[in-house]
Each structure stands twice: as C-alpha cells, then as structure tokens.
Chains A and B, each alone.
Chain A
C-alpha cells in the first residue's frame, strides 16, 4: 500500500518535472521572430489582418530571367480607405532574393530587399517599385503588407479603424530549384530524432533486461531508480549517455558548419546563423560532450581503481550530474527561434554585454553558471575521494595513472573554475540587472573578462586532455603487458602540467594588448609545457619498447592517439612564440591545432577507454572486427578532415568567418584557388568521420544485446577494477572487506620514501595501527 502510494507520487512528480523541462524554453520565448516585420506582421494599424483589404502586385513574372529589372505596381482595394481621406494607405514589401529599389519620392528603401511608403506616399493606394531579379538560381518569395487607412489620424484618433492585410507571392527560377531547408529546422529535427532514438534505445534496453515484465509497473521504479540514483556506476552511465548524445549534437552542428564552408561564398547559413552554430558547437563539445564523457569514466573507474565502495559524497555526485542536462536546456534556449548565443565559446567582452549580442546569450551564461556549479561539486567529490578513500596500503605512488590523471584534472578544474564562475555572474548581472563590469563607456575593462575566462580556460583545455593521458597510460601498459615505464616521472609530469597550466593562459591574449611583462612570462611558461608532455610521450614509447604489444582495438586507438596528439602538440609549439602567434591568431591553423589535440587527443583517448572498459561496465565484450573497422575509417577520415586545415590557415583563411572567397586581391584575403578544393575535401572527410562513429554505436548496441559475456579481467590488467566481477556489484567493494594493496606499479613499492615524502608523512595523523602507517 505504502509502496504504491510512493510510486504514484513519484509518477506525478516525474510528469511535472518532464512537463517543466519541456515548457521551460517556451515560458516566454523571445518575441522578435526570425527577421522582424515579415513574419510578425504589421501592428501599426491594428492587431489583426482584415479580409476586406486586398493587396495586389502587378508586373511580377511567374519565372524570372537572370538579373532582369521588373517594374512592379503595388496596390490595394477595399477597407476604410475612400477618396477624400487625409491619408489613404501604406505598404511594406519584402523580397527574399534580388534587390528592390525606389523610383519616386512616394517610396523609401529600408534595406536592399525591403521597401515601404513614405510620408509623401501615404495619400495614395498604389505605388511603383523596381525589382532586380537575382543573377543565380533562386526561388523568390515576396511578402506584401498593405494598410487601408480611414484618415482619422488628423482628428487625433491615431490608427483606430484602419485595416491591413498581407499576401505572399512566389516567383520561380528559370530552372527548377529545390527549396533549401532552414538550418534551424534541420538542426532541431536532427536533435529531436537523436532524442527519440535515445529514448527508443533506453526502452529497448529495459525490455531486454527482463522481457517478461515489460510494463509500466516495472518500468516506473526502474526509471525512477535511474533518476534518483546516487550509485557512482549508474551516474557514470548517465554521464556517458549524456556525453555521447551531445557529442552527436555537436557533430551535427560541425557538419552544418562544414556544409556552409564546402564551397566559397556559400549561403547555406547566414552570418548570423553561422555565429550561433560555431558558438554552440564549441560550448557543446567542451562542456556538454568532453567533460561528461570524462566524468562518466571517472565516476565508473576511480572508486573501482582505488578500492573505494563509492565516491565520498554520493548525493552531491548526483547533484553535479543533474545540473548538466538542465544547463544544456538553458544553453540551447533561443537557438531555434534564431536568438541563440552568438559570442563564440569564449564569449568575449564587450560583445557579450552589448545589446547587439542575441538575447539567448543571457541563457547561455545562465547555463554556464550551472555547469560551473556542477564542476565545483564534482571537484570536491573527486579530490576528497582520491585523497581519503584509497584502499588500505595504497599510497599516492601506487595509484593507477588514470586515477592520478583525474586527480590532477579535477584539481586544475576546481581551482580555476571559480574565476570563470565569477566572470559569468558579472556578465549575467550586467545583462540582467544592469551592472557595469564590462561596460567600456563606464570604465569597465573588457580585458578583465579575457583574463578571468582564460585563467579558467587554459586549465580547462588541459582538464579535457589530461584524463586522456591517464587512459592511454593504462591501455598501453596493459597492452604491452608490462608496467608503465617511468611511473614516477609520469606522475610528476602530470602534476607539472597541472601547475604550469595556471601561468600560461596569457598566450590566448597576445593580440589583446595585455601587459608586455605578462606576455613575456606566459610565452616562456607555455614553451615549458612541452617538457612534461614530451616526457609522457617518451615514456609511452619506452613502455612499448621491448614490451610484447597485443593489438586490440583499444591499443590501436592508443597508438592513433600517440600520432595525432604528437602532431597537435608540435603545431601547438608555434603559438607560444609571440611573433608567430600574431600571424596565426584567428586562422585555421589554430583550428587545426586544437582539433588535433582535442579530437585526436581527448576523443581518441576516450574511444580507447570505451573499448578498454566497456566489458567491465556492461559485462559484455565488444566486437573486435567492428572495432578495427571503426578505427581505420575514423582515423583516416579524421586526418583528411583536419590535416588540410593547417595549410588553409597558413594561406590566411580566418576562423569564425561564415564564408570565404577565392581571390587574388589582398583585401579579400587572397585565398588561392586550391583552397576551394581543399575545403570541399575537408567537408567530405567530415561527413565520413561523423558517420564512421556510428560503427561504434552499432557495436555497443550489438554488444549489449548479444555480446559475448565478459570475464572479470579480459585484457590482463592488474589494477583494482579488474578484481571485481563484470559488471561490478553495489557497493563496488564490501565495506567490511575492502581490498588491500594491489600495486599497479610494483617496481616502485620497494622504493624508500624521498626526503620530501618523509617530511610530509611527519605531518600525518598516525594511525593506532603503526605497521599500517609505516607502509
């Protein structure tokens, strides 16, 4: 009885929550419409249209000829307009293509494609305008509004009693042209389809878990359990699903950007749409795809690797996950009505606090604030867990490298993200209650935002790459069937990257006019980053050297990572040099560099992690043949996608520009003719790369349904996670029977503690059990 009551109550709450989530973006959708008057209608002479007014356009052809000039007569009949009124009427004409122009003083021009009557022209019912047809193949749409005026404005009655109406005319191109779709519709359709596919997959997985009880009574507690869970493994899975979903969404946006850039002068996306797409692409990929994927694996593996029953604060952990989907909703708010954030993922001031930036920017900022809160809570949780919940006997230098990488990444994230949070709150307040932190007219300093953003932003890019280092260390050591070479130097290298990351951020601002001293300091420190990174790469190579490497799919991805990440690292070495940075700044060379480290580094690293840990997470093996196919197709198309961008960047193709032109004129950027071919090649590779990843999705679904059962330790790994069953029980390790040290790096266990470590140990609270503390 009680149980039923509780279940029906959770059902009601769930319905309300889902309704709230669906309604939030609709609550007061920003009312500007997509492009002003043509959709919202004319409201200056009454709120609704009136059938008694009949607008007309005379002189329009059914099919236009290229660049021909047509003289159009715009008129209307009906309504209260009668000869003898002071005013008779007015009109507004908008054409989707071609140009409208004015022939006499009764008509004025607002835009090349938008005209209306003048003060002089409001005492007639017919006007003449000229339309020049486009020179290319377009289907043209014209929208005409006319007012019929009763002329009582002179009596002080304003526009009362006036009536208006609108018509739409279509003119076809000389040859048949397929209507190009509205990019927003394309994006929203794809997102909705992805969401539906996700729901179907989840339902199907639920069906497969127990086909006999496929009904609401058993589904409701099942789904409620997922929504309320605080178990680190389930939250890890939720993170993983969210990350994969948004990786797809970000990929779709990247494809639309690539469609736009595939040929010079393309107009698939307008400049305005392009701005929103690259903003959301960056934000989605960094904050909604990469970070949840990392958190997914961290949630799953860190407690297992250190032998802890769960994270230190399980409910806080659930909180940090659930902030993310809500934040994602806020970030995407506005994009479907064309008012999404258009600031770039960096959101530079003063544009972000100017009224020119779309209203959706406020929501983007609000969503980011929630992500900051989420990351802070995650940071508290992981730092505490790793510091205090290691299994008895596991010292710092016996921790698996993946756990080390998560520790370093969370430390960086945790200490840097408050700067971003404070900057975001300042921007939110500027935009909402009107403070003046970044208002240059009041003395606000836009550079302050850059400082606060990059103080966080640079550690953040290491936050997404360092966990991939950890994965690669695990995978290469396991595949080479030996311990990782130079474990200690690996740890110190990661810690070094973590500390140095805070004093390099100035290299993002070399062109901003920052203090020259700071520029010099950050130039040197940025070059310094190559040292610990190089140590890691050589250690990985040395681990494989004379090991006996087994080529599993995860090994292939790790080897691919080594190649692409090294290339990305080398191209990165151009930027710390101020002189070169000034030239490469805002070019495709930068785009190529960070996609080589973020896709070739983070994403490849986490593909490797998926193949490595999927059997542990689900208890099913993945198909190796599909895995190899995925690696080959993705690796080749990936390089085809990003390698040519280096060349485009050196030619001078600018990033964040919605199109480019082939020209020999200096002023136009003078891209050589080959640039068009390379761009088309990049776009085709982008599609291949995107679709090759469906092999992975298919592989995972196939494996969950009918994969081979996985043993506890399929690869011969020796850290703690391979000691539990696949999938592990809950709690992951029994509280009264925690595992004791199983060293991932037995080579070091006999080492004497160094002087610093001994000093540090002197500070510790000694356990009552002396021999344990002496370990």
Chain B
C-alpha cells in the first residue's frame, strides 16, 4: 500500500494519452466511469419500459445520460489508446502460443466466449423451432383458430412462424437481407485490405499513399457496416417502395413490423399462400366465431380465404433477439471502426502497430461468420 505511483514519468495521467513504450500498469478513469454508465443505462431502460409498455417517459433523459457517461468513458479509453505506436507489443513466452502477440491470443480467447453466446441463442431457436408446431401445419390441419383459440376445442393455440415465411416469400423481401450479406462480405474484404496496406514495410510504399489507403479502406468498412444496420432497420420497421420498372408492378414492400410480425403479435394473421380453408365454411358452421374473426382482423381487412389468428410471439422473439444480437455486434463494430478510421486518418497506423487492425479484423470477420449462419437459418429457411 505504498504510494510511489505518481512519479509522473510512467503515469502521466489517468485521463489520457499514455506512454506505451513500456509495460508498467497505466491508471485509467475509464473502467469505473463506463461501469457506472452501464448501470445507469440498464436501470433507466427498465424504468422507462415495463412489459412492453412505456410506463415512465420522464426517465428517457436518464437513459441518454447513461449513454453519455458510457461514451465519456469510451473517449477516455480511446484517448489513452490513440498514442499506441506498437513499439512495445509483448509476445507470448510459454507454450503453446510462443511468439504470438498477447493481444491476438486474447482476441481469440474472447471469440471463444462469443461462440458460446451464439450457440446459446441457436439452442434456444432450435428448441423452439423443433418443439413448437409450425404455423403452416396447424393452419393446414383444418382447425379454425380465432384469437389464439381453437374454435372447436377451446384450447389455446400458439405456433411457430419463422420469419423466413415472410422474407423468403418474395425477392423484394429477401433483398435487404441479401444486400446485407454482400455488404458484410465486402466489408470483410476491405478490412483485410486495410491491414495489408498498413502492413507494407516502410520504404516500400509512400507514407501518404499508405495513410490514404488505410483510412479509405477502414472508412468503407464503416460505411458498409452502417448500410447493414440501416437496411436492417428498413427491413424491420420501415419497409420500402418499388416503382414500376418494366414487368415489375408498382407496390410497397412492407416491413416485418407492418406485416404484423412483432414480439407482441398474439393474434397474428398469416396470409402467404398456404392451402386455404374457406371463410364461408366457417361462417356457416360457427357464425359467432366468424364475427369474432372479422372483428379481430379489423375493418381494413381485405378478405382472403385464410382463417387463423394465432400467437406467434415466441417465434418473433427468437428472430428479433438473435438477429438483434448480431446487429448489436455490428453496432459495436461501428463504434470501434469510428475510432480506427479517425486514427488512420491522422496517419496513426504504421507497420509496427498495424496488428491492431488485424485484431479488430478478427472480431469483424467473426461477426461476418455469424451472419453466414444466421442468414440462411433465419432469413431463408
């Protein structure tokens, strides 16, 4: 408990830029500030929303304050990192990672934990997908289901409706997801290009050219990641418009939420070309349920022949939370890329510290890898 740590030479300040030429510990305000920010954020979000309803909108500024505190902590972290020049980059001494940079090993170890995160999400998905009757089967079984109840037996009915039923139903619905897939693959490519240019030995390339190439490649990765999230928001919440081009009809492509595919959809009405059961039949046999059905689908309902209003909240929850977790990883990547693009723009990357791009790249490729699995199983199948 001695207090000889303020010699001012190795510990310039806990606020920022560090002297990275040696391995002594550096003090930092960032951890405690970020922790408090995260605590405030989690607390206030749960004060604003409860059970899907906004219960206290007066706490929204507090949510923002929480985010600002996290950002403030993050800025301190970056300010300390910005001076990292790669002169001191410790390497592993013992087996089995001998001569591999410590941070690279740490990144791979971290990715192990990320694999378990997504395995947990996939286990949830598999359990529900295989464990709950699919909506199409229930629908085609011929029972009438109104307001999540079987009309004949009175039993509650819920079923699993994968989002792909909607998404894979037309090329335009697939479009945002497909473009996103390409965007992520291209961004994986741009980031290895940034690494390649940053790594070129000094003298083999003009420094100005290097600076431009690195920040342009990192910047385009950033842009592609932003495109990814934007398209995701379009696909979830906004939808888009298709003008008349040649044989294509002019029409609106509705977002998943507009289609009624939401986490609150306990009376979901499917209408995508399954074998129909006739409304008239229901009207003749169960007039009251027919009335209930008509009132439940709403006044603007254009009658098709489908008769089913079932609870699909579990399927939409797994879809939105799994793809949302992936989206959150992309968002964290954007935050990291913002800093790296800025650092590259100032010419901060040299062959000596180019490995930093590689470590971030490992994370970024991992996010791409996850998408390679999420895309077919949540969007296509």
Residues of A within 8 A of B (CB): 3, 6, 9-10, 13, 17, 20-21, 24, 27-28, 205, 209-210, 221-222, 224-225, 227-232, 237, 309-310, 312-315, 318-319, 321-323, 325-327, 329-330, 333, 355, 359, 362-363, 366-367, 369-370, 373, 376, 379-381, 383-384, 387-392, 394-396, 414-419, 421-423, 425-426, 428-429, 431-437, 439, 441-445, 448, 451-452, 618, 727, 730-731, 735, 738, 760-761, 763-767, 773
Contact = CB atoms under 8 A, between A and B. Distances in A.
B193 interface: no
A421 B120 CA distance: 9
Given A228-B32, A322-B32, A731-B24, A442 B51 contact: no
Nearest to A314: B25
A334 to B, nearest CB: 11
Given A6-B13, A330-B39, A389-B93, A314 B98 contact: no
Contacts of A229: 5, 25, 27
Interface in B1-25: 1-3, 5-6, 8, 13-15, 22-25
B190 interface: no
A106 B166 CA distance: 59
Given A27-B47, A767-B99, A442 B314 contact: yes
Contact of B313 (A326, A388, A436, A735): A436
B59 A421 contact: no
23 contacts: A10-B15, A227-B29, A229-B25, A230-B25, A230-B27, A315-B30, A318-B31, A318-B32, A319-B34, A327-B39, A366-B42, A366-B46, A369-B42, A387-B94, A417-B113, A433-B49, A442-B158, A442-B314, A443-B159, A443-B311, A444-B313, A618-B1, A765-B99
A437 B110 contact: no
Contacts of B43: 24, 27, 330, 333, 363, 366
A24 B47 CA distance: 11
B26 A230 contact: yes
Given A10-B14, A225-B3, A326-B39, A432 B46 contact: yes
A53 to B, nearest CB: 32
A773 B43 CA distance: 52
Contacts of B314: 436-437, 439, 442-444
Interface centre among B6, B31, B42, B100 (most CB of A within 10 A): B31
A310 B116 CA distance: 28
Contacts of A730: 5, 24-25
Contact of A355 (B3, B47, B51): B51
Given A228-B32, A379-B113, A384 B313 contact: no
Contact of B94 (A313, A388, A414, A443): A388
Closest A-B pairs by Cβ, 6 of them = A434-B52, A388-B92, A436-B313, A418-B116, A390-B94, A443-B158
B350 to A, nearest CB: 22
Interface in B103-122: 103, 105-106, 109-110, 112-114, 116-117, 119-121
A319 B29 CA distance: 10
B223 interface: no
Contact of B97 (A388, A423, A428, A618): A388
B250 interface: no
Contacts of A325: 35
A388 B98 CA distance: 7
A209 B98 contact: no
Nearest to B114: A418
Nearest to B116: A418
A497 to B, nearest CB: 19
A731 B23 contact: yes
B238 interface: no
Contact of A767 (B98, B132, B264): B98
B121 to A, nearest CB: 6
Nearest to A366: B42
Contact of B128 (A9, A20, A27, A443): A443
A310 B22 CA distance: 12
Interface of B: 1-3, 5-6, 8, 13-15, 22-36, 38-40, 42-47, 49-53, 56, 58-59, 62, 69, 77, 80, 90-100, 102-103, 105-106, 109-110, 112-114, 116-117, 119-121, 123-124, 127-128, 131-132, 156, 158-160, 263-264, 266, 311, 313-314, 317-318, 320-321, 325
B40 to A, nearest CB: 6
B113 A764 contact: no
Nearest to B41: A366
A618 B98 CA distance: 34
A319 B35 contact: yes
Given A448-B124, A735-B22, A760-B96, A384 B36 contact: no
Contacts of A418: 113-114, 116-117, 119-120
B25 A231 contact: yes
Contacts of B103: 312-313
A387 B35 contact: no
A312 B23 CA distance: 10
Contacts of B22: 735
Contacts of A209: 1-3
A421 B114 CA distance: 11
Given A363-B46, A426-B321, A434 B28 contact: no
Contacts of A766: 98
A764 B156 contact: no
Nearest to B158: A443
B92 A387 contact: yes
B106 A313 contact: yes
Nearest to B38: A370
Given A6-B13, A441-B311, A764-B95, A415 B127 contact: no
Contacts of B97: 387-388, 764-765
Contacts of A309: 23-24
A446 to B, nearest CB: 12
A491 B2 CA distance: 37
Contacts of A27: 43-44, 47, 59, 62
Contact of B317 (A224, A314, A432, A435): A435
Given A221-B6, A422-B117, A443-B132, A326 B44 contact: no
Given A387-B105, A414-B113, A432 B49 contact: yes
Nearest to A395: B95
A767 B30 CA distance: 37
B218 to A, nearest CB: 23
B261 to A, nearest CB: 13
Contact of A20 (B40, B102, B116, B120): B40
Contacts of A359: 50
A319 B31 contact: yes
Contacts of A20: 36, 40, 69
A310 B102 contact: no
A773 B98 CA distance: 9
B124 to A, nearest CB: 6
A418 B117 CA distance: 5
B124 A437 contact: yes
A389 B40 contact: no
Nearest to B13: A6
A689 to B, nearest CB: 30
A710 B2 CA distance: 16
A313 B321 CA distance: 31
Contacts of A441: 156, 158, 311
A310 B98 contact: no
Given A27-B62, A330-B43, A418-B117, A224 B94 contact: no
A431 B50 contact: yes
Contact of B28 (A228, A363, A415): A228
B252 to A, nearest CB: 27
A756 to B, nearest CB: 12
A387 B94 CA distance: 7
Given A228-B27, A327-B39, A370-B35, A433 B116 contact: no
Nearest to A310: B25
B92 A389 contact: yes
A232 B27 CA distance: 11
A312 B120 contact: no
